[in-house]
Amino acid sequence: MTQAMSSEHSATAPRAAAPPALVARRVGLSFAGLRALDALDFEIPAGGTSAVIGPNGAGKTTLFNCVSGLYRYEGELTLHGRPLGQLRPHQRARLGIARTFQTPALLDGESALQNVALGGVAHSRVGVLHSMLATPRRRQEERETLERSFAVLDRFGIAALAGRPVAGLAHGDRRRVEVARALMSTPSLLMLDEPAAGLGAEEARDLLAEVEAHAGDDTTVLLVEHDVALVMSVARRVVVLDSGRLLAVGTPDEVRTDPRVVEAYLGADDVDEPAPERLHAVSGETA
């Protein structure tokens, strides 16, 4: 009887909430006396898509650069409970952090397939000696990487472009190649910096849907995006920055009705009567 009761209890007991994927505690950064990020505290839940938004110069890309290790910062960032500390970008990549950039950072002279294959380098299983001597083990890994790269391109609907130099590809296809390359490392945290830039609304939604479908449950997607309507339709958690400070954090419904968010985006004089439907894309951020 005790065993039956125990089994029944375990079946009905609520599951503990999964720990967050990314945690920021008092994260700050200054450039020549200018406060770019100021004591940021927030958590990004594991799985699904979350977003960072804010007006021009809010510090969104600066935050991404801190997480990926391009900038040194104050405070603490942790990935699935592990402090990132002073880890360099390649070390963070090995921990599971991958990202894209505002302008696709691709090797224009190489094919789409070769560009995507580069995403698997951080997780190579062979050592330097095998690479230098081009051993059978190394050649086997290269074949497997190219096969996986082609499969990812196929998942994104651009397998036909595998052999073409990326310099001649359309903007939307270049975006897909860069995202596919980031996914090749099977990241636990995938950061997309303005993935919808230069894309139509439908094309942007299709791209994010493809990302989530390919990434699966083990990858948390964090995007910086100016298209607020797009963000509100896909994100489970939204972090709002303004001049390097944390303005708001919450669900899309909580954020879109926050008077401080409306004021930051629209410069509203009367924030007691927010007009969340007027929150729209703000373009042209440089940091």
Question: What's the confidence (pLDDT) of residue 71?
Answer: 94
Region of 55 on the Ramachandran plot (φ > 0 left; ψ -120 to 50 alpha; else beta): beta
Q: Judging by beta carbons within 10 Å of its beta carbon (0-12, 13-18, 19+), is residue 70 exposed, middle or buried?
A: middle
Q: How many CA atoms lie within 13 A of 245 on its CB side?
A: 5
The burial of 64, by beta-carbon neighbours within 10 Å (0-12 exposed, 13-18 middle, 19 or more buried), is given as buried
- Which pLDDT score is estimated for 266? 55
pLDDT in tens, 48-103: 999 999 888 899 999 999 999 999 999 999 999 999 998 999 899 989 999 998 87
C-alpha 19/C-alpha 46 separation (Å) is: 7
The domain made up of 18-96+187-211+219-287 has a fold known as Rossmann fold (3.40.50)
Tell me, what's the pLDDT at 99?
92
- The confidence score (pLDDT) of residue 213 equals 84
Tell me the domain boundaries of the chain.
18-96+187-211+219-287, 110-186
Low-confidence ranges of the chain (pLDDT < 50): 1-11, 13-14, 126-133, 268-287
Q: Distance (Å, rounded) from C-alpha 207 to C-alpha 227? A: 14
Tokens of 83: 């402090």
Residues 149 and 112: their CA atoms lie apart, in Å, by 9
**For residue 207, what pLDDT is reported?**
86
What pLDDT is stored for residue 249 in this prediction? 95
Asked if residue 152 lies in contact with residue 159, where contact means CB atoms within 8 angstroms, the answer is no
